[in-house]
Structure 1
């Protein structure tokens, strides 16, 4: 997804872009950063998405559309003064750093410890210090339940929460999905879960 978000961020004309993610390129290996750079050229800029769409039909376009939809719904939740945001399976998602106003919330990024180690190292290179409003919650869904990890991280179930669970459930066991849904059912009235 970081590649797709980076490509969308440099798409021309700018008026055609569904969103911008200035961090996405920083999560790519050098060869993919080069592809993003080349995609700014007029002909290559059309060939790169065409190749991706031929090779993996629907992956890029649905990922880009999904990103825009979720961004819009997160912004709506922020206008409704949601107090906490949880991003399950956060991966290289950078909503906590790029959506205006989200810094007023506590944002819990939940992901596998190995993925979080890579992400935090890259964020330090991109940002310097990690933002104080983000709490990293290391969790392997196959080995530990969400409730214990969130309690240890200071998550408050009595506080209105918006949870993003993007593109993760198909990789989890039925038991892990059920346990996660049961846990979020205990959050404050007005909380929302988007997946």
Structure 2
């Protein structure tokens, strides 16, 4: 399947895994209003001509989903239900008075532009330097200018500086903050995850965290969802997996209280559209919500 994006100039290319996730979210937009899990009107503008061309083909979305399901059953359903769940958690946080949102590994995340009320919060998007450059260019091209409520910052989670990444980017520890770390931890080393949680815990009381992790058994066996990395060329290897008890322990060690840890069964309960559409959801990744 290869990269889903291509540039007409010599600008930076996005991470292929970010492109893969974005393509799945774009496919979800082909569903009727009553069936799709979320609206992402900005995404098509951020994607390149190749992605838009594929989606003009009425069979384009179905063929991509078929390839995904043949390689990693339930991956598409996992990705779109996870997106919807994190949207819901973020909406709730904004309604409770969250004034800052930090998105780690932002990729093609468009929540800064499509979640009601988020324009009144300060959003920090953090990613690798080349991905941030691509994202800034794509947003400016699509919207005509960069939004004033969004700050873009480079981050290398494997560096020593990652333990201070959020405050270095400008996140104010005195403000209620939600940190979103979606589809990131499987690419990290153990120490990088420790630094990430240290950075989150440094924000103190009033901080909420949403974080996804792949089960350790999946990463070790390279079965099931782990094969999703075979859907893109040039993506980084998976390095880190957790079990639910390990995730809870790590959070507690960093002063974070686990609120919920969910996977496929809860997604199916929350979003009955999945069953009506006969969409499978892989059980091999979990999403945790925690608070300081």
Same fold by TM (over 0.5)? yes
Partner of residue 163, structure 1: 179
1:112 equivalent in structure 2: 128
The 8 Å contact of residues 3 and 25 in structure 1, kept in 2 or not, is answered as no
Q: CA deviation at 1:48?
A: 4.3
Provide the residue aligned with 2:155 in structure 1.
Answer: 139
Structure with the larger RCO, 1 or 2 (CA within 8 Å, 6+ apart): 2
Which protein is richer in helix relative to its size? Answer: 1
How many residue pairs get aligned? The number is 191
Residue deviations 1:128-181 (CA, integer Å, cap 9, x gap): 111111111111222352344433332111211111000101111111110111
8 Å CA contact retained: 1:145, 1:176: no
Match of 1:28 in 2: 47
Residue in structure 2 matching 1:8, options 28, 48, 52: 28
Q: Give me the whole-angstrom Cα distance separating, in 1, the residues matched to 2:44 and 2:136.
A: 15
Gap change, CA 1:26 and 1:143, over 3 Å in 2: same
Question: Which of 36, 42, 54 is residue 17 of structure 1 equivalent to?
Answer: 36
Residues 158 and 167 of structure 1: CA distance in aligned 2, closer, same or farther (over 3 Å): same
TM-score, normalising length: structure 1: 0.90
Unaligned runs of 5+ in 1: none
After superposition, the C-alpha distances for 1:92-137 in whole angstroms (9 at most, x for unaligned) are 1110111110111111111001000011101011101111111111
Distance 1:185 1:175 in 2: 15
Counterparts in 2 of 1:47-66, with a 5 A limit? Answer: 47-66=63-82
- Partner in structure 2 of residue 150 of structure 1: 166
Q: 1:78 and 2:94 equivalent?
A: yes
Q: What are the ranges of 5 or more consecutive residues in structure 2 without an aligned counterpart?
A: 1-20, 212-292
**CA deviation digits over 1:63-96, x for unaligned, max 9?**
0010000000000001101111110110111101
Distance 2:87 2:187 in 1: 22
Match 1:186 to one of 202, 223, 246: 202
Change in Cα spacing, 1:7 to 1:147, as seen in structure 2 (3 Å) is same
**Whole-angstrom distance in 2 between the partners of 1:143 and 1:167:** 19
Distance in 2 (alpha carbons) for counterparts of 1:134 and 1:141: 20
Which residue of the other structure, out of 114, 120, 125, is the alignment partner of 1:98? 114
CA-based RMSD of the aligned residues comes to: 1.8
